[in-house]
């Protein structure tokens, strides 16, 4: 397992992103919409660092299952409970790669007539992009490698790692 982003670098980046978001949404009460399960650690740290009034909700979608590549089919598993009409929504993602799932989520939420919908992603894997997507807040740009840790998993394992690592050979990780 090769560590790509250390715990210390993650903490510094989360703090910087929270400050930028706080400045951009001063006087507003944005909704932080975490995309489960991968975003939960990032979102928890981000909201703590944000330290201003906000609301929190979650959505769950599936496009991977237990595979290392997305199927291209997005299934909505859990929807938001908060009314988002005329509200600022920040979609909190662990990683954006192909952009297919993120595009689906944004289009779905726009049907509810929010004031704005923006992405906050810890990791941007732009080399894997299949659709054009505008990401307002990016933590780290990473190469087209499969990564685990800090909420990201392989077959529901390794989310607890406090850093981001490349999953070189899943057989060795079992």
Residues assigned a catalytic role: 97
In 28-80 the beta strands, taken as DSSP E runs, fall at 31-36, 55-62, 75-78
Structure tokens at 138: 């990016």
CA angle in degrees (0–180, nearest 5) for 45-19-86: 90
Distance CA(63)–CA(50), nearest Å, equals 29
Distance CA(28)–CA(138), nearest Å, equals 21
3-state helix vs strand vs coil in the chain, percent to 5: 25, 30, 40
16 three-state secondary structure: helix
């Amino acid at each position: 397992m090769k560590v790509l982003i250390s715990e210390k670098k993650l903490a510094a980046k989360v703090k910087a992103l929270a400050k930028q978001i706080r400045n951009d949404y001063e006087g507003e009460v944005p909704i932080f919409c975490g995309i489960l399960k991968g975003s939960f650690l990032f979102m928890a740290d981000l909201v703590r660092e944000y330290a201003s009034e906000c609301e929190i909700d979650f959505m769950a979608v599936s496009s991977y299952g237990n595979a290392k590549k997305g199927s291209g089919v997005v299934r909505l598993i859990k929807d938001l409970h908060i009314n988002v009409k005329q509200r600022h929504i920040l979609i909190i993602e662990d990683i954006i790669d192909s952009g297919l799932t993120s595009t689906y989520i944004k289009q779905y939420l726009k049907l509810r007539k929010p004031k704005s919908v923006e992405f906050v992603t810890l990791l941007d894997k732009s080399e894997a992009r299949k659709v054009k997507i505008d990401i307002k807040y990016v933590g780290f740009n990473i190469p087209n490698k499969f990564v685990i840790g800090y909420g990201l998993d392989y077959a529901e394992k390794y989310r607890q790692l406090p850093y981001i690592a490349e999953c070189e050979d899943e057989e060795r990780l079992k």
